[in-house]
Chains A and B, each alone.
Chain A
Amino acid sequence: MSTPRFCPIPAGTLTPGLDDDERQALQVFLPGQDFAAEAPRAAVDVDAFALSETPVTRGQFRAFVVDGGYANPQWWAADQQLLDHVGGQAALVTQAQTAGPRTWRTPLGDDEDDDLPVDGVSWFEARAFARFSDARLPTAVEWEWAARGPERRTFPWSSTLTMLDVVRSGHLDDGCVQQQRPQAHFSSPTLTAVGAVKRTSPFGVLDLAGNVAEWTSTAVDGNLPGLELRVLCGDVHRAPLPRMHGAAKAVHEAHRRLPGFGFRLARSSG
């Protein structure tokens, strides 16, 4: 199994979210969206940490499956009670009804390229794999800091996105006549092998935009007892290019195992 390569991320201060100028600029491309989930928040200090260069791959995750990771309570104990409320490990099966990611058609997921990011996993599986790998999930703030850096890039690979970029990427159509607005289109119909697209973040991290949406450790108050919500950063491969900014976030229930939901690993420094 290939092991994830980690990029050192220095300490710094991040103002999470998109400021008004950024939101207005993105609304040129996505006028239907208000980016409410990415509203600006107060500046926060981020400690130095390390982040895996790419999302965890199918090949890497297979090692966990082969090792019996789904049945090893060592990796699940901290979250077992929460997981039991939503069906326990019995619900975490492949399409072959064996323990593993939902998107795998075969028990070992060898129906697709090993270098594709693993997807169709819940937050619980991401956490268990992180423990198995002697790592953890990044927080949403850490993820955004790694994507945007001290220069506070709007996108992991750039601070700007012009109409020309969007048109060249084939993600803009001829406009919606009735609505009189441009309409962005989705970027890629399928997942891409990790690291294949060299959109490098300020700290050398790859795939922070537009491959899998990535689970983080950050929780959100669900306003209902027992409703476990976690933040996903980034956006899935089908999302339009302007959605792939460094502050992209969504909130889903921790047991949700949708195609396009993946994760990467973090390690604290020192």
Chain B
Amino acid sequence: MSRIVKLPASLRPPPGATASKAVTSNGKTARGDDVRGNEMRVTLATGLGVEMADGFESDGVALAPPPLPSVSTRGSSPTSALNTRLAFMAHSAPAPLAPAVAQLHQSLTQHPHKGPLVDDVVQLPTFAALDEAGQTTVLTLMHRAGLRGAHAMHALAHTELHGRPLLQADGTSSCVLRSLGRLAQLQLHGDMALHLDVDMLLDDVLGELHDPSVICQSARGTCAATALQYELARAHPRRYLRMASELLDGGASHGTDSNGQVQAIGVVADSIPMDNAAERSAFGRLFQSALMDAAHTWTTGTYSNVHDHYVDGQGAMTGTGGLYDSEGLNAASLLFGQSNAVLEYDVHTAMNVFSNEANTPMRGAVVALNWSNNGAGGHMVTFSHVDGDRVYFRNPWGNVTKDAPGTLRDPPGSIVEDDVGLESMARADFMSRFHHTVHFSTDPAGDAGMST
């Protein structure tokens, strides 16, 4: 799809420029093919935004790249919780920083790649409105995160949640800043310290919050957990941040299961070391394993990431891998609250709900489909929307395409936007493959049993 991106003054193309290059939010290069004034048209995958305009061309001759700050956008989906203000917030004359913040800022400006990002952030009115602790949190995160995380934090500082800057989205409750503050002070211990890096985890969490399309299951049977993780990051960034901070800092978060009981969602020990699911982030590995373990009720045993199965105390496998229907409901309850999570088997009822969800942005759904063409095996995807005769969904395989015979890479499935994992299917095919769905509320105020 083509999208008009408004450029800030610092990124406007020089006179005579006819095209521009841009780096999208998943790190790939898009080409702006029509530059007019302070706008350029960029062909982007759905859900992608422009991370950085990195150069302009005139008659094929590359001109000097413009300086940062970068442009960042977020998905244009009407149900996206976070939206970047494409028209950049006006930079005002920055207020004097407190000495400790100024010192941190000064040290960051020495970094050749983070420095320009930080300089841009501290000039934002959103940043100026934060108290000293909030400002320290933002800069500490940009200091401790790697480059990916610093870019993501820079983008998030330009982001709105429900019409307010993300960093001020909670008003006085400051859930976002509390979670960011906990992440900024993150210390790893034991196996976590040996096998994980703080900068890597911050890069993962901030990067996935900024661009959930990078979330994927890779080589693990965690489709349900991944589909829900994606939906949580996309629709409920505050809770995503809180869970991330609790999981990484304290080793466990919590939620309300489908029976209304508060339950821990804890780190699974064998998900800490790197595994061969290389496309999945380290945080994705921890989060998905924790959710697989917490949602499991069908048999005894705990989830093992190494085995991708449930195992007993002696390491022997029990039952199967993956999540059964009721366990998917349980997982959705744990993340989004118990009272609004509903398991639905009737395809016609489900389709009616799907059709209505276009007008109900605070609803989400994951759908289990009979995935392989021979009817064996299931796969869970995140429902996106219905458009005419097509049903759109996000595959938790993410941007890691699979081409194995018998999958939906064969007809009737089709890839819509490979970079973000968006796929579509004819309504009739979708209905014939439908097995069940779990609907849930993504409204943070919708469930008294769940705090953000």
Contacts and interface: CB of A to CB of B under 8 A. Distances in A.
Contact of A178 (B147, B278, B321, B401): B321
A103 B111 contact: no
Contacts of B91: none
Interface in A133-180: 173-174, 176-180
A102 interface: yes
A27 interface: yes
Looking at chain A's contact residues, the main secondary structure is loop
Given A34-B403, A85-B113, A238-B273, A102 B194 contact: yes
A180 B200 contact: no
B275 A36 contact: no
Interface string A175-190: 0111111010110000
Contact size range, B: 35 or more
A260 B275 CA distance: 10
Nearest to A37: B278
B66 to A, nearest CB: 13
B162 interface: no
Contact size range, A: 35 or more
Contacts of B307: 173, 183, 185
Interface in A11-48: 24, 27, 30-34, 36-37
Contacts, number: 113
B309 A176 contact: yes
B295 to A, nearest CB: 14
B221 interface: yes
A173 B309 contact: yes
Interface in B269-310: 273-279, 306-309
Contact of B197 (A95, A177, A238, A256): A256
B33 to A, nearest CB: 20
A259 B321 contact: no
Contact of A258 (B221, B274, B308, B377): B274
A55 interface: no
Nearest to B401: A34
B309 A223 contact: no
Interface stretch (A62-70, A124-132, A224-232): A224-232
Interface string B123-152: 000000000000000000000001110010
A176 B276 contact: no
A239 B276 contact: yes
A81 to B, nearest CB: 9
B274 A179 contact: no
A259 B377 contact: no
Contact of B320 (A178, A224, A240): A178
B218 A32 contact: yes
Contacts of B218: 32-33
A176 B151 contact: no
Interface in B155-198: 194-195, 197
B220 interface: yes
Interface string A214-234: 000000001111110000000
A264 interface: no
B275 A238 contact: yes
B377 A178 contact: yes
B274 A236 contact: yes
Contacts of A37: 278
Interface string A226-262: 1100000001101110010000001001001111100
Contacts of B113: 85, 224-226
B404 A238 contact: no
Nearest to A30: B219
Contacts of A186: 275-276, 306
Contacts of B109: none
B212 interface: no
A126 B320 CA distance: 41
A223 B404 contact: no
A34 B317 contact: no
B321 A183 contact: yes
Contacts of B277: 32
A34 B278 contact: no
A253 B274 contact: no
A224 B400 contact: no
B43 interface: no
Given A103-B194, A179-B377, A185 B306 contact: yes
7 contacts: A32-B217, A34-B400, A34-B403, A86-B199, A180-B372, A186-B306, A223-B23
8 closest Cβ contacts across the A-B interface?
Answer: A226-B113, A32-B219, A178-B322, A223-B27, A180-B377, A180-B376, A177-B320, A176-B321
